Amino acid sequence: MRALALAVAALLTGCSAHRSDVSVPQVHAVVSQTSSVSRPTQSGDPSQLPPLADGDLNVNLVLLDRTIEIAPGLNYHAWTFNGTVPGPVVHARVGQQINVSLTNKSMMGHSIDFHSALAPADIAYQTIAPGQTIHYSWVARYPGVFLYHCGTPPVLAHISNGMYGAVVVDPKDGWGPDARAYVLLQSEFYTHALEGHPNQYVGDMQKMKSSMPDVVEFNGSAFQYMRRPLPVGVGKLVRLFIVNAGPSHFSAFHVVGTIFDRVAVGGNPENTMHGLQTVTIAPGDGAMAEFTVQQASRYPFVTHSFGDADAGAMGAFDAH
């Protein structure tokens, strides 16, 4: 038993020494009253991966209350990053420093939690009041496909009301061959009609707690990619960066008529699998998935949890 204890102690000592070799800069945050706001990071088309920036990446986010259309004719009073749901896609590379500026122009306290950062929650992810701005920086240490979201309690309500976005961190050597890239973020809405206001909805906390969404969608609007399919090329590689914001349902991402050649769980190339029919993505997780179609056609994509697909989480790729 003594020999076993010594072996375990040696193993733990070795692990500790290995961890201490990794130099991670300390994260410090500055909270101040808002005097001026840097130009907000552009939201643009949520399905498009923004180009990589040279040098540091500046992410400027403003917390805004906005009414958005989450399904045809269904207007939802959302809490947002930069006025859109989802918020802007953040695209970085391993080793790049990300400088965050978060300004609260909403009616309540909010925060931001980057799953891609090594940062203490009580410093970087602290709640700021209306009229305040927080600044901090972090360095992207791991490649992957990550979620960011508001982490202010109750987190269930803040995510359900629209406070999330995607972060794609490229490996140092990139993702591999050139491909047509798309970002798809799945999420849920739990709605309650505003009395006396036709087609106006707010969040329903009881439905949130019961995990009974009325709308499940990709990139903020139900069925939008059935109405406007995403173009791909026959025989051309397609690379998807998929994030599941939840807050509660798993995604079972599937493209009808093809098989995923390569899937990186969490978006990390160290976690690569091949020949998958469906990609399971937990709430708060992501994946990179690649496929190539062999002939011209329309290829639907869904979550294979078909209750959620019928609630809006389906779209299509048009191959030509």
Q: What is the pLDDT of residues 259-297, one digit of tens each?
A: 999 999 999 999 999 999 999 999 999 999 999 999 999
Closest CA to 75 of 217, 205, 221: 221
Q: What is the pLDDT of residue 13?
A: 36
The answer to whether residues 187 and 86 touch, using CB atoms and an 8 Å cutoff, is yes
The predicted structure's pLDDT at residue 20? 35
Average pLDDT in the 74-101 region?
97
* pLDDT confidence bin for 24, thresholds 50/70/90: low
Q: What CA dihedral angle connects 246, 248, 254 and 260, to 10 degrees?
A: 70
Residue 37 has pLDDT above 80, yes or no: no
The backbone torsions φ and ψ at residue 33, rounded to the nearest 5 degrees and listed phi first, read -70, 140
Q: What is the mean pLDDT of the chain?
A: 92
Can you read off the two tokens belonging to residue 299? 């290829």
**Distance, C-alpha 233 to centroid of its chain:** 26
The secondary structure element, H or E, covering residue 60 is strand 57-71
Torsion of CA 48, 105, 222, 250, to 10 degrees: 80
**Who wins on pLDDT, 314 or 5?**
314
Could you give the CA distance from residue 165 to residue 43 in angstroms, rounded to a whole number? 10
The Cα 189–Cα 232 span in angstroms is 29
Q: Averaging pLDDT over each range in 1-5, 12-16, 194-198, which range is the top one?
A: 194-198
The one-letter code for the residue type at 24 is: V
Closest CA to 27 of 139, 185, 128: 139
pLDDT at 78: 98
**Is the model's pLDDT at 2 over the cut of 50?**
no
pLDDT (0 to 100) of residue 5 = 40
Residues 6+ apart with CB under 8 A from 45: none
Q: What are the tens digits of pLDDT across the range 107-132? A: 999 999 999 999 999 999 999 999 99
User: Could you tell me which residue, 36 or 260, shows the higher pLDDT?
Assistant: 260
